[in-house]
Every structure is written in C-alpha cells, then in structure tokens.
Amino acid sequence: MTQDPIRHNLLTILSKFKQTHAERKHRREFLRNTFQLLNFNKINGDFAEFGCPDATVQLDAWHALKRQPFQRQLWAIRDAEPQTKPVNSMDLHPRWPAPQHKWINPLGDSRAAWSRLPARESHIVRYGSTQPLLASSLPAQICMTWINAQPHSSIRSIFRMLDQHWKNGSILVLEHYFAGSRFERSGARNAFLELQRNRPDLSFVPMEKFGLGSQAFQIEDAP
C-alpha cells in the first residue's frame, strides 16, 4: 500500500517539531541547573557561545540567567566567513556532504530573534580574515563556554583562541560531541581529544549528556 505523501510529510514535520521541542526543554533545564552550580561554586565570568548558527542558545541562556543572583553577560562569537568545505577528513560527515554543509548559516537567525536579547547584557562579536578575533574582543572571564560548531578545523581554531581562558570550575559544552559517523568521530570529539593532549595541566570531568548529541564537562586543575 502506497503511503500518502502529504500525510508522510506532515508526520515528518510533527516528529521533527517534537524532537526540537524536547531538545530545547532539556537544554533550558541544563542551563538553569548549571548556572545554579556556577553560582554555588562562586565561579565568576560570562557565558560565551562560539558558532551561533541562530539565537536560540543565547535566548535560552538569558532566560536561565534572569532567575540567577549573579550578573553575567552573554557573548555570541560568530565567524563572518564560516567554513564552506572540509579542510581534512575529520571535517567530513554524511549529514554534511561537501560543498553544501548543513552547518553553514552565515547570516544566522533573523534580526528579530537577536533583538529579543537585552542590549546591555549581550554582545555579538564577528571575526574573519579581514577582522581577526583579538583577545580584547573576548570576555575577560568565561564561566561557561558553549561550542555550537561542527567541523573539526573550526573547533580546533576556537580552542586555540581560548587557550588562556580555561579555568578551574568553569564549564565546557560541545553541542555536537556525539555527531560522528561509522567512519570517523565527530569533529567536536576529535578537537576535544587534541585539547586534552595539549593541556595536561587540566582535567575535563564529564557532566551531563543532553539533546541529540551534546556533552558538558567541568574543567578542573589536574591533580
């Protein structure tokens, strides 16, 4: 019996909507609980998201922070020239075939979505070959680093930018940590393994897994 294509499309849309709703609910709960933990541990610093294909993580972080006693700033740090093709085999993924990678969204979300963020508490930083990201463009202290990028090459570059910002008690979130394939680990995981090798002075303690493939770590000084 042939399935009605209209009904099939509607069911697919509904399934995707339910999945997205569930993932966002879990993410909001994670952000709320993690900011509470950071406050309890008296970890200073701001929330910094790298990648930022849209405004949803920033909005969820803002809603979580509104209920917290600590004053923290939101930072959206976006590449003005996002990677459009793989640099090496670790950038490949069957869901993002070159040259039209699904993770490319140079414009991000609509201006209306970004305009919902509080102007006094949020910062949008763009960088690229003609506008390099300077240390002065980053927050002085970061309590939670959120990596919302997928290619290994991009995440490795972000980790290099953050080399002086890792600190005891802060949180690292890799949104696409488990987005690998049967041929290769995810770009996020490969970059993270490199980070561990390059920073033996730090320990990355696994925390919560959430969403479709996200993993959080608490950073500690190595014993």
Least confident of 122-126, 132-136, 153-157: 132-136
Q: How many CB atoms lie within 10 A of CB 169?
A: 16
DSSP string covering 177-194:
TT---SSS--HHHHHHHH
What pLDDT shows up at residue 120?
79
Rounded Cα gap, residues 187 and 123, in angstroms: 27
Q: In what order do the strands lie in the sheet with 74-79?
A: 122-127, 74-79, 46-50, 142-147, 171-174, 214-221, 202-210
142: DSSP letter: E
* Bridge partners, 217 (sequence order): 172, 206
Strand partners, 47: 74, 144
Say how far residue 2 (Cα) sits from the centre of its chain. Answer: 41
pLDDT tens-digit profile of 196-215?
A: 999 999 999 999 898 888 99
pLDDT above 60: residue 102:
no
| One-character DSSP codes across 15-35 | HHHHHHHHHHHHHHHHHHHHH
Would you place residue 85 in the very low, low, confident or very high pLDDT band (cuts 50, 70, 90)? low
Average pLDDT over residues 91-102: 51
Domains of the chain: residue spans and CATH: 23-221 (3.40.50.150)
In the three-class reduction of DSSP (H, G, I as helix; E, B as strand; rest coil), residue 40 is classed as: helix
pTM over 0.75: yes
Give percent of the chain above pLDDT 90. Answer: 42
Could you give the angle at the alpha carbon of 210 between the alpha carbons of 91 and 208, nearest 5°?
A: 105
> 146-168 pLDDT, tens per residue?
999 888 888 998 999 899 999 99
Tell me the pLDDT band of 110, cut-offs 50, 70 and 90. low
The tokens 């939101």 sit on which residue?
74
Q: What is the pLDDT of residue 105?
A: 42
As separate numbers, helices (DSSP H) first and strands (DSSP E) second, the chain gives 5, 7
Check residue 61 and give its pLDDT.
95
What is the pLDDT at residue 2?
A: 60
Report residue 66 CA to chain centroid gap: 20
